[in-house]
Amino acid sequence: MPPSTFFFVTFLLCLTTPEAKVFGRCELARALRYNYGFPLDQLPTWVCIANYESLYDTSAFNRVSGDHGIFQISQLCWCSDDKHPGKNCNAVCSKFRDDDIADDVACVKKIFAENERLSGDGFDGWMTYQSCRDNVGEFTTGCF
């Protein structure tokens, strides 16, 4: 390969964004339970929230609200929109839009804990929670 082609290909690879992932509902439920230790009784609500926030798409980005990732984490309080980690989750917002949800989960747990402290219900941190308050068992039916 000529050196100019090598540098061009390398340049293009640097421009690409990290891979995103669209989870299946059961795949997300199992990941949250087995990889991240979410309580079993909370899983239907978390999966419901991810459904309404992003349709399980880790690359979701709301340009109007500045919300990022599968759980639509807000850049107003929780992450920095530049290249340096910041705000309450000490994170860069764009990192919430790749296929690795470990950082999303760490931030979501902080958001949940803060809302639990403030309102008594950690899920209040998500507007879509209103749609996920009741009868959400179908979001994890057949998953376990």
Range of the structural domain that residue 54 is part of = 19-139
Domain contains 9:
no
Confidence of residue 144 (pLDDT cuts 50, 70, 90): very high
- Residue 88: count other Cβ atoms within 10 Å of its Cβ: 15
> How many distinct structural domains can be found in the chain?
1
Residue of 57, 67, 98, 116 with catalytic role: 67
**pTM (two decimals):** 0.85
Domain contains 1:
no
Domain contains 98:
yes
CATH code of the domain in which 58 resides:
1.10.530.10
> In which element (H, E) is residue 74 found?
strand 73-74
Residue of 19, 27, 53, 116 with catalytic role: 53
pLDDT, tens digit (0-9, with 9 covering 90-100), for 104-126: 999 999 999 999 999 999 999 99
pLDDT, tens digit (0-9, with 9 covering 90-100), for 15-41: 334 699 999 999 999 999 999 999 999
Residue 67 known to be catalytic: yes
Residues of the chain with pLDDT > 90: what percent? 81
**Residues sharing a CB contact under 8 Å with residue 108, sequence separation 6 or more, in sequence order:** 71, 73
Domain contains 35:
yes
Closest CA to 68 of 83, 82, 58: 58
